[in-house]
Amino acid sequence: MQFILEIIALFFIFLLFRQAVIRAFPVKAVGLPLSDDSTLALKKYRRRYLILFWTSGIVLSFFIMLGLHELFYQLHARGSEGNVLIIERTALYIPAIILGFLLGTFLSRWLNSRMQHDGLSFFFEEYHDEWKGFDTNKLRGWHIAGALILAMAMLYTQYHVFAVLRDGKVIWQSPQSGFHVHTINEVESIFLHKQNEFSIAFSTGDTLVTEGMDGDKASFVNNIKNPAR
């Protein structure tokens, strides 16, 4: 339910942002009337663009999310002993969507141009901008910079959500609790408080909660209980 609400909220933010973009980067009207055949061809051009945009954006977002999750795992797994816990895959969907649709914007435009075999894509693009309501060329630099900065800021935070066993120590970090390093001997108790969700309490008063992380949590806990000799 929370995921659905986040998607709805993201959609409304997108609509508000789009209105701001239309006001900030107004497009000049082309002003040339089109024949009936050209109007039909332009509608086909727009329709094909939308199909390519949404298809490429969704597909790219999905594979970017999988790729980022695997990259995070491999980076944290270096030098670890046993299993590694990283941020859950679904938490990466927002930066993945940002990057996926950023790439999809340019990919769909390129594919649409290639599929316009009569060579009129440059002509239709002017009408396409008028239909969208903003000047794509003026916005492109801001579009790329804004999307990359936002996605990288989110990914930086999400990368620093992990738990790993290394050199007989439990190392973990999260935005809420910060960075912690404790030896396995400092583990005071381990609680199973949900299905396959654990709380690991240390003698210092710190607690590692595995909720919101992906990985073999049962094996991670077992490696703490029975460390390798």
Using the 3D structure, point to which of 126, 159, 192 is the last residue of a domain.
159
Measure CA of the first residue to CA of the last residue in the chain; give whole Å. 45
Number of domains in the chain: 2
The pLDDT score that the predictor gives to residue 174 is 86
Q: Residue 209: is its pLDDT beyond 80?
A: yes
Range of the domain at 197: 162-225
Angle between the N-to-C axes of helices 36-77 and 93-115, in degrees from 0 to 180, rounded to the nearest 10: 140
Q: What is the DSSP letter of 81?
A: S
B/e letters for 190-229, b = 16+ CB within 10 Å, e = fewer, are eeeeeeeebebbbeeebebbbeebbbebeebbebbeeeee
Q: Are residues 122 and 192 in the same domain?
A: no
Does residue 29 belong to any structural domain of this protein? Answer: no
The pLDDT score that the predictor gives to residue 59 is 97
Q: Are residues 155 and 170 in the same domain?
A: no
Quote the tokens at residue 114: 């290639």
Q: Are residues 155 and 191 in the same domain?
A: no
The pLDDT score that the predictor gives to residue 137 is 63
Q: Are residues 88 and 128 in the same domain?
A: yes
Q: Are residues 48 and 145 in the same domain?
A: yes
Interval 135-171: pLDDT, tens: 566 666 777 888 889 899 999 999 999 999 888 889 9
Q: Are residues 151 and 39 in the same domain?
A: yes
- pTM for this one? 0.77
Using the 3D structure, point to which of 135, 159, 183 is the last residue of a domain.
159
Q: Are residues 93 and 154 in the same domain?
A: yes
Interval 2-44: pLDDT, tens: 556 666 766 667 666 655 655 555 555 555 666 677 677 777 8
Does residue 3 belong to any structural domain of this protein? Answer: no
The pLDDT score that the predictor gives to residue 69 is 94
Using the 3D structure, point to which of 132, 159, 186 is the last residue of a domain.
159
Does residue 83 belong to any structural domain of this protein? Answer: yes
Does residue 8 belong to any structural domain of this protein? Answer: no
Q: Do 39 and 140 touch, CB atoms closer than 8 A?
A: no
The pLDDT score that the predictor gives to residue 112 is 83
Interval 62-117: pLDDT, tens: 999 999 999 999 999 887 766 799 999 988 988 999 999 989 988 988 888 888 76
**Average pLDDT of 122-129?**
62
